[in-house]
Amino acid sequence: MKFHIYTRRVRLDERGFTLVEMAIVLVIIGLILGAVVKGNDVILSAKQKKFYTSFLKPWELAVTSYYDRTGKLLGDGRANGGLADFANGRFDTINGGEDSDSDGINNALKKVGISLVQSNGSNNMVYSYAGRYSGNQNIWMNLYCLGDAGSAVCKNRLYLSSIPTDLAIAIDTMIDGQKDGTAGKWRRFEVNSGVGAEDWPDASTTPVVLAVYRIDLQKFPNQLRLIREFFYSGSALQHFS
């Protein structure tokens, strides 16, 4: 009688992973996930910087350039694109989302040869931005005179409504070097408590906030304007020729 012993060959694709192989796979997965998260952070940071450099900063420069050229405050009195009959050194509560308000500001800028700010919103005082938790928001650029919390003295500020909290916190770090909604030029604003009364909230639970950016104007615009006009009028060339 003959006995036959059958053996079964184990194919490579039928054997399980060794612990070493599993560890290598987990490391690779971790690296991929880390790269994805890092890539998302880079994209988000680029969006935040674009908002600052293409919208917030240009509006600050528009206000300061207008003051430098005219000695007057943009949005203060009808002659300067504002709403009130006469200027008083304060913004006239300009609501950028209102086309009539933005038209007045833009016309004043064009009259003195200042290039208009470009934006992606319904007008150039509105910026469309999708926050991490807020979804897409239309951020209004407004010109208000608002006082610090507990103070009756108002200060001219760029007032941004409906700004995603994560963006507001990022801008605070860019401008003031730290995340603190109660101090610096860039602060949180609450209608009931005022400017800088409260710090930035958790963006995941409060996805949208109000924020303000204080405008600091040069003290002696008239002297600076006379110097500039002297050099650009050709008088300087005649004087030194």
Range of the domain at 67: 38-72+114-217
Residue 20 lies in a domain: no
pLDDT value of position 237: 44
Q: Determine the longest span between alpha carbons in the chain, in angstroms.
A: 127
Whether residue 68 is contained in a domain is answered as: yes
4-48 pLDDT tens trace: 555 555 554 556 668 777 777 777 777 777 666 656 677 789 999
Question: Does a structural domain hold residue 235?
Answer: no
Read off the pLDDT of residues 177-197 as tens digits, 9 standing for 90 and up: 999 999 999 999 999 999 999
Q: What is the pLDDT of residues 227-236, one digit of tens each?
A: 655 554 444 4
Inside any domain, residue 29: no
Paired tokens of 135: 């979804």
Sign of CA dihedral 76, 64, 154, 162: positive
86-127 tens-digit pLDDT: 999 999 999 999 999 999 999 999 999 999 999 998 899 999
Give the least confident one: 26-35, 44-53, 131-140: 26-35
How many domains does one find in the chain?
Answer: 1
Beta bridge partners of 135: 131
Residue 95: strand pairing partners? none
Domain membership of residue 127 (yes or no) is: yes
* Any domain includes 165: yes
| pLDDT for the residue 43 | 78
